[in-house]
Amino acid sequence: MKTYYIMISRHFLASYPKAGRETHFAQSIAEGSKIHTIRGSYENWKRKIDEVNEGKAILSLRQWTGSPYNRLCDGSTQVELTQLKAGECGLQALEWKKLDNPPTVLLPHILNESAAVIDGRAFLHINRLATNDGLSEQDFRDWFKGYKLNEPMAIIHFSNFKY
Protein backbone atom coordinates (compact mmCIF):
# COMPACT_ATOMS: atom_id res chain seq x y z
CA MET A 1 0.00 0.00 0.00
CA LYS A 2 1.23 3.50 -0.79
CA THR A 3 2.21 5.85 2.00
CA TYR A 4 2.09 9.63 1.64
CA TYR A 5 4.05 11.73 4.11
CA ILE A 6 3.33 15.07 5.69
CA MET A 7 6.23 16.52 7.61
CA ILE A 8 5.07 18.48 10.64
CA SER A 9 7.46 21.28 11.58
CA ARG A 10 9.03 20.87 14.98
CA HIS A 11 10.52 24.37 14.97
CA PHE A 12 9.52 27.62 13.36
CA LEU A 13 11.45 28.15 10.14
CA ALA A 14 14.53 30.38 9.87
CA SER A 15 12.68 33.05 7.86
CA TYR A 16 10.02 33.32 10.55
CA PRO A 17 9.93 35.85 13.45
CA LYS A 18 9.97 32.96 15.97
CA ALA A 19 12.78 31.12 14.16
CA GLY A 20 14.06 28.09 16.03
CA ARG A 21 11.35 28.04 18.71
CA GLU A 22 9.28 24.89 19.19
CA THR A 23 5.95 24.84 17.34
CA HIS A 24 4.45 22.20 19.68
CA PHE A 25 2.52 20.90 16.65
CA ALA A 26 3.03 17.22 17.59
CA GLN A 27 1.54 17.82 21.03
CA SER A 28 -1.31 19.87 19.53
CA ILE A 29 -2.12 17.07 17.09
CA ALA A 30 -2.10 14.48 19.89
CA GLU A 31 -4.38 16.68 22.02
CA GLY A 32 -6.70 17.35 19.08
CA SER A 33 -6.24 21.12 19.04
CA LYS A 34 -4.32 21.19 15.71
CA ILE A 35 -6.94 19.57 13.51
CA HIS A 36 -5.43 20.32 10.11
CA THR A 37 -2.46 21.53 8.16
CA ILE A 38 -2.48 23.90 5.20
CA ARG A 39 -0.27 23.18 2.22
CA GLY A 40 0.27 24.47 -1.30
CA SER A 41 -0.38 22.34 -4.39
CA TYR A 42 -4.08 21.69 -3.87
CA GLU A 43 -4.45 19.39 -6.90
CA ASN A 44 -1.52 17.23 -5.80
CA TRP A 45 -2.97 16.85 -2.28
CA LYS A 46 -6.45 16.19 -3.66
CA ARG A 47 -5.13 13.22 -5.60
CA LYS A 48 -3.30 11.86 -2.54
CA ILE A 49 -6.16 12.34 -0.05
CA ASP A 50 -8.60 10.79 -2.52
CA GLU A 51 -6.34 7.71 -2.67
CA VAL A 52 -6.20 7.55 1.13
CA ASN A 53 -9.98 7.78 1.43
CA GLU A 54 -10.40 5.11 -1.28
CA GLY A 55 -8.25 2.76 0.83
CA LYS A 56 -5.38 2.76 -1.69
CA ALA A 57 -2.90 4.63 0.53
CA ILE A 58 -2.24 5.86 4.04
CA LEU A 59 -1.19 9.30 5.24
CA SER A 60 1.72 9.38 7.67
CA LEU A 61 2.24 12.51 9.78
CA ARG A 62 5.91 12.73 10.68
CA GLN A 63 8.41 14.95 12.41
CA TRP A 64 12.22 15.12 12.42
CA THR A 65 13.95 14.33 15.73
CA GLY A 66 16.62 16.97 15.01
CA SER A 67 17.46 19.19 12.06
CA PRO A 68 15.54 18.24 8.93
CA TYR A 69 17.56 16.19 6.45
CA ASN A 70 20.63 16.40 8.72
CA ARG A 71 21.13 12.76 9.64
CA LEU A 72 24.90 12.85 9.11
CA CYS A 73 25.44 15.88 11.36
CA ASP A 74 23.05 15.26 14.25
CA GLY A 75 21.57 11.80 13.68
CA SER A 76 18.17 13.27 12.87
CA THR A 77 15.53 10.76 11.83
CA GLN A 78 11.84 10.91 11.06
CA VAL A 79 9.38 9.82 13.74
CA GLU A 80 5.81 8.95 12.84
CA LEU A 81 3.27 10.86 14.93
CA THR A 82 0.21 9.09 13.54
CA GLN A 83 -1.21 7.37 10.47
CA LEU A 84 -4.49 8.28 8.84
CA LYS A 85 -6.42 5.74 6.80
CA ALA A 86 -9.62 5.75 4.73
CA GLY A 87 -12.29 7.90 6.37
CA GLU A 88 -9.86 9.43 8.87
CA CYS A 89 -8.83 12.53 6.93
CA GLY A 90 -10.35 15.10 4.64
CA LEU A 91 -9.48 17.89 2.25
CA GLN A 92 -10.87 21.32 1.49
CA ALA A 93 -9.76 23.96 -1.01
CA LEU A 94 -8.55 27.26 0.45
CA GLU A 95 -8.28 30.42 -1.61
CA TRP A 96 -7.57 34.01 -0.58
CA LYS A 97 -9.78 36.67 -2.10
CA LYS A 98 -9.27 40.42 -1.88
CA LEU A 99 -12.23 42.16 -0.28
CA ASP A 100 -13.45 45.33 -1.99
CA ASN A 101 -15.41 46.63 1.00
CA PRO A 102 -14.51 44.53 4.02
CA PRO A 103 -17.20 44.51 6.69
CA THR A 104 -16.24 46.03 10.03
CA VAL A 105 -17.02 42.78 11.86
CA LEU A 106 -14.02 41.00 10.35
CA LEU A 107 -11.22 39.95 12.62
CA PRO A 108 -7.85 41.41 11.62
CA HIS A 109 -7.16 40.29 8.06
CA ILE A 110 -4.50 37.78 7.16
CA LEU A 111 -2.84 39.61 4.28
CA ASN A 112 -3.94 42.92 2.76
CA GLU A 113 -7.62 42.67 3.71
CA SER A 114 -8.14 39.24 2.20
CA ALA A 115 -10.75 36.68 3.16
CA ALA A 116 -10.34 32.95 3.31
CA VAL A 117 -12.64 31.19 0.87
CA ILE A 118 -13.06 27.51 1.67
CA ASP A 119 -14.67 25.24 -0.93
CA GLY A 120 -16.03 28.32 -2.69
CA ARG A 121 -17.69 29.81 0.42
CA ALA A 122 -16.43 32.91 2.22
CA PHE A 123 -14.97 32.08 5.61
CA LEU A 124 -14.04 35.23 7.42
CA HIS A 125 -13.09 33.96 10.88
CA ILE A 126 -9.34 33.87 10.30
CA ASN A 127 -8.72 33.42 14.03
CA ARG A 128 -10.58 30.08 13.99
CA LEU A 129 -8.69 28.91 10.91
CA ALA A 130 -5.38 29.86 12.58
CA THR A 131 -6.29 28.20 15.89
CA ASN A 132 -7.34 24.98 14.16
CA ASP A 133 -3.97 25.02 12.39
CA GLY A 134 -2.18 25.24 15.75
CA LEU A 135 -1.13 28.87 15.45
CA SER A 136 -2.06 32.26 16.85
CA GLU A 137 -3.53 34.66 14.33
CA GLN A 138 -0.26 36.63 14.06
CA ASP A 139 1.79 33.43 13.72
CA PHE A 140 -0.61 32.27 11.00
CA ARG A 141 -0.11 35.51 9.07
CA ASP A 142 3.67 35.26 9.44
CA TRP A 143 3.72 31.54 8.49
CA PHE A 144 1.97 32.11 5.16
CA LYS A 145 3.68 35.35 4.10
CA GLY A 146 5.97 33.57 1.64
CA TYR A 147 3.29 31.35 0.08
CA LYS A 148 1.73 31.86 -3.34
CA LEU A 149 -1.61 33.05 -2.04
CA ASN A 150 -3.00 33.46 -5.56
CA GLU A 151 -3.09 29.66 -6.02
CA PRO A 152 -5.50 27.25 -4.28
CA MET A 153 -4.13 25.67 -1.14
CA ALA A 154 -5.10 22.42 0.57
CA ILE A 155 -6.55 22.22 4.06
CA ILE A 156 -5.73 18.66 5.07
CA HIS A 157 -7.92 17.62 7.98
CA PHE A 158 -6.78 15.01 10.51
CA SER A 159 -10.41 13.94 10.95
CA ASN A 160 -13.76 14.23 9.15
CA PHE A 161 -14.16 17.85 10.29
CA LYS A 162 -15.07 20.39 7.61
CA TYR A 163 -15.68 24.12 7.64
Domain ranges in the chain are 2-157
Q: For the CA atoms of 9, 13, 16, 18, what is the dihedral angle to 10 degrees?
A: 70
Residue pLDDT, tens place only, 32-56? 999 999 999 999 999 999 999 999 9
Rounded Cα–Cα distance for residues 7 and 152 (Å): 20
What mean pLDDT is predicted for residues 119-131? Answer: 86
* pLDDT > 70: percent of the chain: 86
Q: Which of 14, 56, 9, 4 is CA-nearest to residue 37?
A: 9
| Residue 75 vs residue 17, higher pLDDT | 17
pLDDT band at 143 (very low <50, low <70, confident <90, very high): confident
Give the per-residue pLDDT at 14: 80
Q: Please, which residues bridge with residue 36 across strands?
A: 157
Q: If you average pLDDT over each of 41-50, 70-79, 104-113, 146-155, which comes out highest?
A: 41-50
Give the per-residue pLDDT at 99: 64
Residue pLDDT, tens place only, 81-111? 999 999 999 999 999 887 665 544 444 444 4
Give the per-residue pLDDT at 131: 95
Q: For Cα atoms 19, 148, 13, give the angle at the middle one, nearest 5 degrees.
A: 10
Q: Are 37 and 94 in contact (CB under 8 A)?
A: no
Give the per-residue pLDDT at 149: 76
